[in-house]
Amino acid sequence: MNGILIVNKEKDYTSRDVVNKLIKILNTKKIGHTGTLDPIATGVLVVTIGKATKLCDLLTSEYKEYIATMKLGIETDTLDITGSITKEEDYNITEDQIKEVLNSFLGNSMQEVPLYSAIKVNGKKLYEYARKNIKIELPKREINIKKIDLISYKDDLITFKCLVSKGTYIRSLIRDIAYKLNTVATMTKLIRTKQGIFNIEDSYTIDDIASNNYKIISYEEALSNYEIINIDDNLYKQVSNGAIIPKIFKNDKALIKYKDTIIAIYQTYDKDITKAKPYIML
C-alpha cells in the first residue's frame, strides 16, 4: 500500500499514537506523518504510507489552516490549557481592538518558539530543558501569516481562523496576540482544518479507518500542483537506474510517469539546467 491518508486526529492522542494505531489497522510498519499535532489539538493529520513516506518534505512545505480558541487573563508554562498557570492579568478589550491586533500579524514576522516544544538546542529538545527547570534562550524563526480573521469574542474567549506557514506555533501566536492586547492568554482549543490541498472535510477518524471506510490518495492527487511527464521505454530504463536525463519539464520539479504509474520525482540538475536528476525514487 502506497499513498496518502488524511486522518482527523482526535483530542488527547499524540501524532505518534495515531501512527501506532494505523500500523496495526493497516498491517504495515512503513507509516509516517507530515506535521505533528499536540495532544490538545484535533483535525487534519497527513499520513504517508509505504513509499509515500519519501514525500514528507514536499507535503510539509504547504500552508496550514487552523481555528484556535484562546482564554484571556491567564498564561501557562506550556502556553495551552494543559499547563500550569504562570501569569494572571486583567484585561479590557473590544472586538475592534482584537481585529486590529490580528491584522497586525499578517505577513512575515519573527516568532519565539514555545519552551514546551520538540525544537532542538545543543542536541536537546526544548521540553527536556523545561522539565529540568534549566533556563535557555528560546530560538526564533521567521513565519508568514497569509490570513487571520476573528470568528468570535465572548466572555474571556477569543476564537480566530488563520492560514500560516510551516513551522508556525499557534500557541506562540496566541501569546503574542495577547501581549499586543496588553494582557496574557493561553490556548484552550485548536483544530487544524487544512494542510495544503487537504481539508478536514476529506479526513477520516481512526474508527472510520478501522471500519475500512477510507480512501488512499495517490501521488498525483497529493502533488497535483506538479507537472506530470510521461516517459517511454527507453527513458524508463534511465530513470529506473536513477540516471541524469534531459530536462523535459518546465518548473524545478516534475512527476515522472511510466505506464500509468508515478515512478519518480525529478528536479533540475544544478550543474546543467538543461538536464534533470532524481529527487525521489518511488
User: At 12, which amino acid appears?
Assistant: D
What is the pLDDT averaged over residues 108-136? 81
Whether the predicted pLDDT of 184 surpasses 90: yes
pLDDT score recorded for residue 99: 98
**Domain CATH for 167:** 3.30.2350.10
Residues belonging to the active site: 38
Please state, in angstroms and rounded to a whole number, the distance separating the CA atoms of residues 119 and 171. 14
Residues 117 and 8 in one domain: no
pLDDT recorded at residue 132: 76
Query: Would the pTM count as exceeding 0.85?
Result: yes
**Residue 96 pLDDT level (bands cut at 50, 70, 90):** very high
61-95: pLDDT as tens digits: 779 999 999 999 999 999 999 999 999 999 999 99
Q: What is the rounded distance in angstroms from the CA atom of residue 90 to the CA atom of residue 73?
A: 6
Residue 127: pLDDT band with limits 50, 70, 90: confident
The yes-or-no verdict on residue 240 having pLDDT over 90 is yes
Looking at the fold, whether 86 and 162 belong to one and the same domain comes out as: yes
Q: Identify whether residues 202 and 191 lie together within a single domain.
A: no
Q: Which of 220, 235, 262 is the endpoint of a domain?
A: 220
pLDDT-based confidence at residue 31 (cuts at 50, 70, 90): very high
CB 167 within 8 A of CB 141: yes
Q: pLDDT, tens digit, for every residue of 219-231?
A: 999 999 899 999 9
Q: Which domain holds residue 47?
A: 3-62+197-220
pLDDT band at 60 (very low <50, low <70, confident <90, very high): confident
Q: Quick one: 139 and 81 in the same domain?
A: yes
Mean pLDDT of the chain: 93
Same domain, 50 and 103: no
Of 165 and 139, the one with more pLDDT: 165
Q: Domain check: are 85 and 161 in the same one?
A: yes
Question: Which class for 262: exposed (0-12), middle (13-18), buried (19 or more C-beta within 10 A)?
Answer: buried
Instruction: Compute the half-sphere exposure of residue 18: CA atoms within 13 Å on the CB side of its CA.
Output: 33
Same domain, yes or no: 257 and 273: yes
Residue in the structure block whose three cell numbers are 516534475? 254
155 and 178 part of one domain: yes
| Residue 178, phi-psi category: left (phi > 0), alpha (psi -120 to 50), beta (remainder) | alpha
Same domain membership, residue 187 and residue 69: yes
> Based on the domain organization, do 160 and 54 belong to the same domain?
no
Question: Stretch 179-198: mean pLDDT, rounded?
Answer: 96
92 and 182 co-located in one domain: yes
Helix, strand and coil percent figures for the chain, each rounded to 5: 25, 40, 35
- What digits encode the pLDDT tens for the residues 261-272? 999 999 999 889
CATH code assigned at 258? 2.30.130.10
Is there a single domain that holds both residue 45 and residue 73?
A: no
- Looking at the 3D structure of the chain, how many domains does it have? 3
- Dihedral angle of Cα 72, 76, 81, 83, to the nearest 10 degrees: -170
Residue 123: the pLDDT is 79
